Chains A and B, each alone.
Chain A
Amino acid sequence: MKEPSTEPQQDVDPTAPNEAERQARRRRAEKVQILLFFAGMALLPLVVTNSYYIHVFTFIGLNLIVATGLNLLMGYAGQVSLGHAAFYGMGAYASGILTAKYGWNAWPAMGGALVLTSAVAWVIGKPTLRLKGHYLAMATLGVGIIATVVMRQWVSMTGGPAGMQTPGITFFGHELESHMDVHYFYFVWAWVGVLMVLFANLVASRPGRGLRALHDSELAAQVLGIDTAAFKVRAFVISAAYASIAGSLYAHSSMRFLSPTPFDFHTSIALLVMVVLGGQGTLWGPVLGAVTVTFIQEALRPWAQYDIVVYGLLLMVLMIFMPGGLSRGLSTLWQWTAGVARRIRGRGRGGEDRE
């Protein structure tokens, strides 16, 4: 005999998590993941003492900042930038020029670079993001090439292709020495931590959920009263701001030197690949992408002229076979191998049956 009063509980189980609770649980898990990840990164220099690898990991951090910003644009606002290296470069050169030529302190210079880069992004994004389609991609392609040409030709300011020297940065009165790669490693990765937490909070906030809705269906988002164009512009400006910060950090990095090459069209492609390869629209995708792409580039360096052949081939192969990114690609590969293994086992049994 059942009590009638317990009947409705079968329909709505009070212990089952609702959407909001699942979100909260996911956020808690994310916080733990972030904490563990950065604890691991903090311990890394104890294990990896080779200064070259510390240098590479510092660069992974810089790439990761840019890729995280780009991820906001691609994975959430559903737009593509083909010239994000230009914003990276603008941040770097604005910081470099303000400090080296005008004697600014590195911190306000970083702020100035941020304002300038965001303003450029706003001017480009505002009119093109109003339109349906990939007009932003084409416009940013243009911005990217123009920025490279300016970096090469405005010799009096940028030093042209020969590059320019930049001063360092002081942190709580402590000048980060150019020969201490580990200091820069911690400095850059502290920024990565702050900016990744900011990103995680942003995409979990109301505007972030708006962006996610926009990525799934622009029409549906509009129906829900989301000003999709304004959201896209904001996402683009923030992504440019991330690139600018990374650029400023680069400008005052342990190399103390800027040249146009690290900010050219090829870097824009590499950044795009980091986001797509890692998996768009996730917190950890750009981490995977930045690590993979930076290591591929470093590994190909000694191959002299064969490096770009292999790099081009890898881009094609990875995108053809893993269009959804590495994590999804690996799980597909896993399922496929499991399927093949099962079939082989099945066939083996089938053979026995026939005998």
Chain B
Amino acid sequence: MMDVQIWQFFLSGLTTGGTYALIALGFSLVYNATGVINFAQGEFVMLGGMITAASMSAWGLPLWLAALMAIAITTLVGLALDRAAIRPARNASIVVLIIITLGASIFMKGLASIIWGPDERSLPAFSGEAPISVLGATITPQSLWVLGATLVTAVAMWIIFEYTIVGKAMRACAINPHAAQLCGIQLSRMVSWSFGLAAAIGAIAGIVLAPITMTQYDVGMMLGLKGFCAAILGGLGNGLGGILGGLILGVLEALGAGLVSSQYKDAIAFIVLIAVLLIRPSGLLGREGVAE
């Protein structure tokens, strides 16, 4: 009986973990291109869910169209953030850039509360609510959507970075921005690409998650911070590491909440964060040997 329960926690943890994984990917993308930790990443997740929900209820759009529109608008927001706030301060110190992204995050949250109000919104499950039984535990079809979206995004990222010119150029910038520029790669365009992609991935995470947890104007900060924990766990800047970190974090959180204490659920990700920093600061798959 206990085993089934743990298996159940594991499966539901994997679902939330899929969202953390996508958010972690967004953090790593921007970090690799700019060295900036973009604390507005969580707001992209909020925007994805909120724009989809709002345009479905306001204009009666079908889900797929609303979702596409949400991804497109969020991507534009990501590009605008880069253009309006990050690029003018490119030479500023890391602290200043961090404060700018935090300011952007607060700004977007505030704007969302004005536009859509303080109420919770939900999306219908994409393909029904009929639970699927997996080895004694049950999983909703929406969980499969989350995991599917994580898998598809991960594969898409891998294809982009491995096989396209843009992806290779972005990798070059991450390894050595000066050398990349000498090869004729325009750094500012690559930074735009990374912000656009990070925003789109965040929106996808927000859309697939919304039917499970509901969404609200202020969900971005906590989701973003947990995705950040996932990115550190996996190794900041490492795409595969971020996905692994997200899934592990989701499972640990579900197990911790289910078996130890549900009250302290929100603290678990950050306890993991501190443990990682104390034991293995480079993360699971991060580059070895953090300089002492």
Residues on A lying within 8 angstroms of B by beta carbon are 74, 80, 82, 124, 127-128, 130-135, 137-139, 141-143, 145-146, 149-150, 153, 265-266, 269, 272-273, 276, 305-316, 319-320, 323
Contacts and interface: CB of A to CB of B under 8 A. Distances in A.
A312 B103 CA distance: 4
Given A132-B291, A146-B271, A311-B103, 17 more contacts: A133-B290, A141-B228, A141-B270, A142-B273, A142-B274, A146-B267, A153-B263, A276-B99, A305-B118, A306-B114, A309-B110, A310-B110, A312-B104, A312-B108, A315-B100, A320-B89, A320-B100
Interface stretch (B14-22, B55-63, B90-98, B250-258): B90-98
Interface in B98-141: 98-100, 102-111, 113-114, 118
Contact of A135 (B106, B271, B277): B277
A167 B231 CA distance: 43
Given A143-B274, A149-B266, A323-B92, A309 B111 contact: yes
B291 A127 contact: no
Interface of B is mostly: helix
B270 A319 contact: no
Contacts of A320: 85, 88-89, 92, 100
Nearest to A132: B291
A305 B290 contact: no
A272 B278 contact: no
Contacts of A323: 89, 92-93, 96
B273 A139 contact: yes
A313 B111 CA distance: 10
Interface residues of B, number: 43
A312 B100 CA distance: 9
Contacts of B232: 138
Contact of B95 (A141, A265, A276, A314): A276
B102 A311 contact: no
B276 to A, nearest CB: 9
Contacts of A135: 277, 281, 290
B221 interface: yes
Nearest to B112: A309
Contacts of A128: 277-278, 281
A314 to B, nearest CB: 8
A149 B267 contact: yes
B209 interface: no
B107 A312 contact: yes
Question: 8 nearest interchain CB pairs?
Answer: A312-B107, A315-B103, A312-B106, A309-B110, A308-B110, A142-B270, A323-B92, A316-B103
Contacts of A74: 95
16 contacts: A82-B98, A127-B277, A141-B273, A142-B273, A265-B221, A272-B98, A272-B99, A308-B107, A311-B106, A312-B105, A312-B107, A315-B100, A319-B96, A320-B85, A320-B89, A323-B89
A308 B228 CA distance: 23
A314 B106 CA distance: 10
B198 interface: no
Given A128-B277, A145-B225, A145-B270, A316 B110 contact: no
A305 B109 CA distance: 10
B31 to A, nearest CB: 12
A305 B113 contact: yes
B252 to A, nearest CB: 14
Contact of B100 (A130, A149, A316): A316
A142 B104 contact: no
Contacts of B264: 149-150, 153
B99 A145 contact: no
A316 B85 CA distance: 7
B229 interface: yes
Nearest to A309: B110
Contacts of A138: 232, 273, 277
Nearest to B261: A153
Nearest to B225: A145
A310 B291 CA distance: 40
Contacts of B98: 80, 82, 137, 272
A121 to B, nearest CB: 13
A320 B89 CA distance: 5
A150 B103 CA distance: 26
A316 B82 CA distance: 12
Contacts of B225: 141, 145, 265
A133 B94 CA distance: 11
Given A133-B290, A311-B110, A139 B99 contact: no
B3 interface: no
Given A269-B99, A319-B100, A323-B96, A142 B271 contact: yes
Given A272-B95, A308-B109, A313 B103 contact: yes
A273 B96 CA distance: 9
